[in-house]
Amino acid sequence: MSLNFEQKVIKILGQDRAFWDPATKLCYSLDGYPVQKHTPRAVAMPETNKEVQALVRLCLEEGVPILPRGAGTCLSGGATPPKTPCLLIEMARMQKILSWSPEDRTAIVQSGMVNLDLSVIVGKKGLYYAPDPSSQKASTIGGNLAENAGGPHCFKYGMTADHILGVRFVDGRGEMVVADLEDGPDLVGLFTGSEGTFGVATEVKVRLSKSPEMVRTFLASFSSMEAACGTVSRIVREGIVPAALEILDHLTIEAVEASVFAAGYPKDAEAVLLIELDGPRDEVEADSPKVVKILKEEHPLAVESTTDAEQRQSLWKGRKGAFGAMGRLKPNIFVLDGVVPTSKLASVLSKVAEIGKKYNIVLSNVFHAGDGNLHPNLSFDGRDPSETRRAMEAGLEILELCVMSGGSISGEHGIGYEKREAMRYMFDEADLSAFRELRRCFDPRGVCNPGKFFPTGGGCKEGRSAKSSEGLDV
Ligand SMILES: Cc1cc2nc3c(=O)[nH]c(=O)nc-3n(C[C@H](O)[C@H](O)[C@H](O)COP(=O)(O)OP(=O)(O)OC[C@H]3O[C@@H](n4cnc5c(N)ncnc54)[C@H](O)[C@@H]3O)c2cc1C
């Protein structure tokens, strides 16, 4: 008797790691981009490289799309199932550290390992994994790799791409590919940021960093966003390289302070700026007075600073919990991810505020100021189609503004469903077909995470309305 697709998945994994009941499928129907939602055909939880390869080969035989999934914290719809019901390959059962060498400062981990867990384990030897997305308590090394994730400390230490030394992945042809930074063309760089469209990463070799000898965190509050942004610009201009430069605006401060993430940020401030210096003691002690001098000249409302680990954590608590606190503003949030030159932060933010008013949308800002990586947060009620549409249109206009200001549509959250039409703001047809050609090398049949990344052919606004057609986008 011939087996159907679901029975073949069971044959590979056994009964207890394959799911297609409606409740499980509903749980996997979207990620942190609250606008698009599709249920997968089935959810598979492999434990070995061989099982992943067998699942990909089965999907190829049966013409079923594949969606690799880490923790589902993606904010651009990358981890939302495609419209054609897919096999969702959930990596949660592959989260072991396979080997690590404190001497070489490297580790090989399974791709489902949670980012912060890695730092906790290697922390015993005075090491840590530097890329620290604010989702690091949940998001996985594989998801970070696929999105080239950033984080508050990436201003000084670089993005995920700067910390990846090798990847083992099953590509869209069902082949096991081993990419090593030291060997041949830079396949590691190519795979990083490919958003699940090349295949499923199973193992990742990462660079570990030495924990800094000293860390000093400053919290400065300002009576205007311009003054906070001006301070960031001056710090960057004067060649100081803090580990982090993060800004929260007034509305975010209000939401944070009313929530369980309250960190004691002054509620009368229009903006707060977190500045973190880290490194050798001498370096931090030399840079601290320079930061204090700049702060004094920019007339903050108040400044506090600490080197105490517990107090530092409480200063960061509000920033790290900011997105969670946004639920106080409206039921849904759409987090944008545009980038602009740091010298233009203040002027772009004032235009962003105008766009929010034009579309009558609640808009707040919490962002990686040192990288010029803005996160305008559009709060809306997804049950209201008009408000949802206005939020989407405002988002698109803000991304266009970022590009017009000399920046880009994404700093770290990827393209996914959210920004696929906005790709046209930055890339012409020749660029896009080069990207498609490249993808075909790994996924000639377009089975891996179809429908993401590439524009659908409609205009930007049509695409954003999420009504555009979607097939396997080879
Ligand atoms: C509260 C909050 C704060 C955040 N802060 C930041 C931040 O500071 N910086 C930042 O960059 N992002 C941030 N994000 C976004 C998100 O956490 C990152 O994009 C993260 O890298 C996603 O990891 P994940 O494990 O959740 O992946 P998922 O969301 O599951 O997947 C993301 C993409 O990666 C692909 N993928 C996942 N695993 C694999 C794999 N093994 N092989 C191939 N492809 C795979 C998926 O197909 C999908 O396209 C934040 C999100 C939230 C909810």
**Length of the chain (residues):** 474
- Determine the residue of 73, 326, 420 to mutate for testing ligand 1's pocket, defined as the one with the most ligand atoms within 8 A of the Cβ atom: 73
Matching residue, tokens 């590979």:
12
Reading the chain (474 residues) residue by residue, the pLDDT tens digits are 799 999 999 999 999 999 999 999 999 999 999 999 999 999 999 999 999 999 999 999 999 999 999 999 999 999 999 999 999 999 999 999 999 999 999 999 999 999 999 999 999 999 999 999 999 999 999 999 999 999 999 999 999 999 999 999 999 999 999 999 888 889 999 999 999 999 999 999 999 999 999 999 999 999 999 999 999 999 999 999 999 999 999 999 999 999 999 999 999 999 999 999 999 999 999 999 999 999 999 999 999 999 999 999 999 999 989 988 999 999 999 999 999 998 899 999 999 999 999 999 999 999 999 999 999 999 999 999 999 999 999 999 999 999 999 999 999 999 999 999 999 999 999 999 999 999 999 999 999 999 999 998 654 443 343 333 343 333
Three-state SS at 419: coil
Domains by residue range for the chain, with CATH: 5-90 (3.30.43.10), 97-210 (3.30.465.10), 214-324 (3.30.70.2190), 421-464 (no CATH)
Task: Say what the pTM is.
Answer: 0.94
Give the closest residue (by CA) to ligand 1 atom 44. 196
Contact residues of ligand 1, CB 6 A cut-off: 31-32, 67-75, 78-79, 91, 111, 133-135, 139-140, 142-144, 146-147, 149-151, 195-196, 200-201, 323, 412-413, 449
Q: Report CA 74 to chain centroid distance, whole Å.
A: 6
Query: What angle, rounded to 10 degrees, do the helices at 309-320 and 250-257 form?
Result: 110
Give the closest residue (by CA) to ligand 1 atom 52. 135
The closest of 397, 327, 412, 415 to 364, measured between CA atoms, is 327
Indicate the DSSP class of residue 465. Answer: T
Q: What is the Cα–Cα distance from 215 to 281, expressed in whole angstroms?
A: 8
Q: Which two tokens stand for residue 374?
A: 């803005």
Dihedral sign for Cα 101, 105, 108, 110, please.
positive
Q: What is the Cα–Cα distance from 217 to 262, expressed in whole angstroms?
A: 17
Contact 170, 56 (CB under 8 A): yes
Which residues, 6+ apart, have CB-to-CB distance to 73 below 8 Å?
A: 31, 32, 79, 133, 135, 138, 139, 143
